[in-house]
Structure 1
Amino acid sequence: MSVNVKVAEAKAHLSELLARVEAGEEVIISRGKNPVARLSRVKKENELAMLIAEVRAARARAKPVSNDEILDWKREGQRF
């Protein structure tokens, strides 16, 4: 979930916004109507390593795909 706040509000409530970010929310800081910054949780290295391991495991479980299949999928979306 994403929350939009103005710069002044972000300055006044930074601690509260950081607590929300730590809880998993994303905060977009805007100047007027224009978004200028995003606050998001920093992933710890061990979290990143776990995500990489999950992706590698999923790829290992996937069945092999031939070049012909990939070309067929590519052609499927083309208009003639």
Structure 2
Amino acid sequence: MNMIPLADAKAHLSDLVAQAEAGETVCITRRGKPVARLTAVQSARRPISLAELQSVTNSMPMQSEDAGDFVRNMRDGDRY
């Protein structure tokens, strides 16, 4: 984390914003004490469409064996 005095932050704001966009965290100080933090904004995620999710799960084949049997067979079988 970069510690930048407020006066320097005012003079180099565009550079500090570029650093934040690149993933760095910039801490702005006043008289040596941290007063603000500059970080990149997390981009919003697209909401999941329930209809799309249902269409994907409906298109998946059903398992031929019970989940418990499947796990036991994996555990006891020669999978290594």
**Which TM-score band applies after superposition, normalised by the shorter structure?**
0.5 to 0.7
TM-score (norm 2): 0.55
Aligned length: 47
TM-score (norm 1): 0.55
Structure 1 stretches of 4+ with a deviation exceeding 3 A read none
Which digits, 9 at most, give the CA deviation of each residue in 1:21-57, with x for residues without a partner? 000000000001110000011101128x7xxxxxxxx
Higher helix share goes to which structure?
1
Q: Equivalent residue of 1:46, what SS?
A: coil
- Point out where structure 1 has 5 or more consecutive residues left out of the alignment: 50-80
Compare CA radii of gyration and give the structure with the larger one: 2
- Point out where structure 2 has 5 or more consecutive residues left out of the alignment: 48-80
Q: Percent identity?
A: 47
Across the aligned residues of Structure 1 and Structure 2, the Cα RMSD in angstroms comes to 1.6
Aligned to 1:35: 34
